Amino acid sequence: MKAIISDLHSNIEALDAVLEDIAKRNIKEILCLGDIVGYGPSPEVCIDRLKEVRIALLGNHDEAVLTSDTTDFNARARRAVEWTRKRLNDGIQGDPKKMERWNFLERLTPVVDEGKFLFIHGSPRSPTKEYVIPRDIRNRSKMQDIFRRFEGVCFGGHSHLPGVFTEDGQFLSPQDLCNVYLIEAQKAFVNVGSVGQPRDGNPEACYVTFDDETVVWRRIPYDVQATRRKIHETEGLDDSLGDRLLVGK
Ligand SMILES: [Fe+2]
């Protein structure tokens, strides 16, 4: 059994609740699909928690923090990237802990291809940047092109909207599936949801467990108010980034 987590977004309260749930299930193998940082108030400790994961991918926010290129970002996301970069990078010379975290971000990889399973943050066409969202099922050429680029199952995050896109053109939410998807002969693109900033109307942290045949979405309550408070207390982060956590939007 493996656990796949994504879009932690510097939310340590959500991440720790998820890691505790993973430990309770005795799952040793964790894969992270990116966006470790950005939006939230606790980037350092989130990076520190990920030392043991088998796969850690690069998300668009991680990339923006490293490069300071925020071209595709809206104003509050850009401010959060700038705040995060400053916090991780200022005074890095002569601070081995800071250097180690920065090096960890620099080592994040955009794609892991294991044949039957492909792991990315966004989409196989543009690993860190492209969104695949439920209404894309009406964009058949986009979906067909994406499905041509992998075999088996592609796991992604980025949209913060959990669910599965099937090769025959459907989008099924975890509610549609009673939280369980049985991997079939047809290809599937599975969105694992977001640990640190869910956007499907459910504020509980989201991740999946996966045993090569079955994907199960798990929702884990955590102290949302504590994260919200920290965001409100952080000068460089917009208050709305805390408020949205309450409603999962
Ligand atoms: Fe994200």
pLDDT digits (tens, 9 = 90+) for 183-235: 988 999 999 999 999 999 999 999 999 998 999 999 999 999 999 999 999 99
Q: Indicate the pLDDT class of residue 98, thresholds 50, 70 and 90.
A: very high
Q: How far is the CA of 35 from the centre of ligand 1 (A)?
A: 5
Strand partners, 187: none
Cα–Cα dist 70/72, whole Å? 6
Average pLDDT of the residues of the chain = 97
pTM of the model: 0.97
Cα 36 to averaged position of ligand 1 atoms, centre (Å) = 8
What is the distance in A from the centroid of ligand 1 to the CA of 169? Answer: 24
Q: How far is CA 27 from CA 3, 89, 107, 211, in A?
A: 7, 33, 24, 11
Segment 76-96 mean pLDDT: 97
Residue spans of the domains in the chain: they are: 2-247
What is the predicted pLDDT for the residue at 184?
A: 87
Say how many Å lie between the CA of residue 94 and the centre of ligand 1.
Answer: 31
Range 2-247 classified under CATH 2.40.37.10: no
DSSP string, 167-179: TTS-EE-TTTTTT
Give whole-number Cα distances, 153 to 142, 173, 189, 211, in Å.
17, 16, 6, 12
Residue 16 alpha carbon to ligand 1 centre in Å: 18
What separation in Å is there between the alpha carbon of 175 and the centre of ligand 1? Answer: 21
The rounded Å distance from CA 38 to ligand 1 centre is 8
**Distance between Cα 176 and ligand 1 center (Å):** 23
- Partners of 219 in the beta sheet? 206
- Evaluate if residue 245 carries a pLDDT over 90: yes
Query: What pLDDT score does 129 carry?
Result: 97
**pLDDT band, residue 54 (cuts 50/70/90):** confident
How would residue 52 be classed by pLDDT, with cut points 50, 70 and 90? confident
